[in-house]
Amino acid sequence: MSEVDPQRRAELAGRLRAVHDRIERACAVADRDPGEITLVVVTKTFPAADVVRLVELGVADVGENRDQDAAAKAIEAAAALGAGQRPPRWHFVGQLQRNKAASVARYADVVHSVDRLPLATALGKGAQLAGRQLDVLLQVSLHDPAGGAGRGGVLPFDLAELAAAVARTEGLRLRGVMAVAPLDAPAGPAFARLAELAATLRAEHPQATWMSAGMSGDLEDAVAHGATHLRVGSAVLGSRPSLR
């Protein structure tokens, strides 16, 4: 499939290399091992053909934020990948409706955006029905609650209670926290706050070692504050149509 458009493949390869270079530099600055960091390439709005090209370029983790797109893309990419090629791990990173949970549980390996118990319960049921275990992260809101609508997430105050309930939910493995930096404030302090919350969570749930933070614009800040998973879209794939 990728031979059809070698130019796109070369473009993706170049941008992917540049992102890996940024991660390596950020790790050098923070005195961290790049091997501790998982790059999740967010392929939302881009076709399954790009997922296939990325896998051929060595990408093992891809992210999506809409169930309908992701479900179809996972099937299409798996079919298009060569027999010897391992399909990527699918990370669901977007706001999720409870009625989509069973669908997501069929193809996703990791859900980064669990922010309320009914959603966790539905994901757990879906995972059990599919005979799978889902790794889940609790999305934390780093917005000033007085500042109006955020980008989803449980309030820090409610994190411990949600974590306790998710840890008891069959079909789910509580792995850590996720956040999106606020739009109207610098990312560094927000990720520092997330790191504190992650440490508190880990004290109670030792297996919850993951911290998903950092996107194309702020991955250095995320690495500096201990992120284990970076969710990078446009820096690898190019700019998206602005409506999503």
Q: Closest approach of Cβ 148 to ligand PLP, in Å?
A: 19
Q: Closest approach of Cβ 64 to ligand PLP, in Å?
A: 9
Q: Closest approach of Cβ 240 to ligand PLP, in Å?
A: 7
Answer yes or no whether residue 233 interacts with ligand PLP by CB under 6 A.
Answer: yes
**# residues contacting ligand PLP (CB under 6 A):** 14
Answer yes or no whether residue 231 interacts with ligand PLP by CB under 6 A.
Answer: yes
CA distance 100 to 94: 12
111 DSSP β-pair partners: 92, 136
Q: Closest approach of Cβ 66 to ligand PLP, in Å?
A: 9
User: Is the Cβ–Cβ distance between 195 and 225 less than 8 Å?
Assistant: yes
Helices (H), the chain: 6-30, 48-56, 67-80, 101-107, 117-129, 159-167, 187-204, 219-224, 234-237
Q: Which residue has the tokens 């989803």?
A: 152
Binders of ligand PLP among residues 130 to 149 (CB under 6 A) are: none
Q: Closest approach of Cβ 124 to ligand PLP, in Å?
A: 21
User: Is the Cβ–Cβ distance between 91 and 62 less than 8 Å?
Assistant: yes
Nearer to ligand PLP, 94 or 124 (CB): 94
CA distance 105 to 103: 5
Among positions 16, 50, 65, 169, the unique one binding ligand PLP when judged by CB under 6 A: 65
User: Is the Cβ–Cβ distance between 68 and 40 less than 8 Å?
Assistant: no
What angle (nearest 5°) sits at the alpha carbon of residue 164, between those of residues 158 and 166?
Answer: 100
Q: Which residue has the tokens 């690495």?
A: 223
Options 5-13, 67-75, 155-163, 209-217: segment touching ligand PLP (CB under 6 A)? 209-217
Q: Which residue has the tokens 């560094």?
A: 188
Answer yes or no whether residue 44 interacts with ligand PLP by CB under 6 A.
Answer: yes
Q: Closest approach of Cβ 157 to ligand PLP, in Å?
A: 22
Answer yes or no whether residue 93 interacts with ligand PLP by CB under 6 A.
Answer: yes
Answer yes or no whether residue 215 interacts with ligand PLP by CB under 6 A.
Answer: yes
Options 50-58, 127-135, 181-189, 211-219: segment touching ligand PLP (CB under 6 A)? 211-219
Nearer to ligand PLP, 195 or 215 (CB): 215
- In the chain, the N- to C-terminal Cα span, in Å, equals 27
Answer yes or no whether residue 153 interacts with ligand PLP by CB under 6 A.
Answer: no
Give CA separation, 163 vs 26, 33, 61, 159, 197, in Å: 30, 28, 24, 6, 11
Q: Closest approach of Cβ 211 to ligand PLP, in Å?
A: 13
**Which stretches of the chain bind ligand PLP, using CB under 6 A?**
42, 44, 65, 93-94, 180, 215-217, 231-235
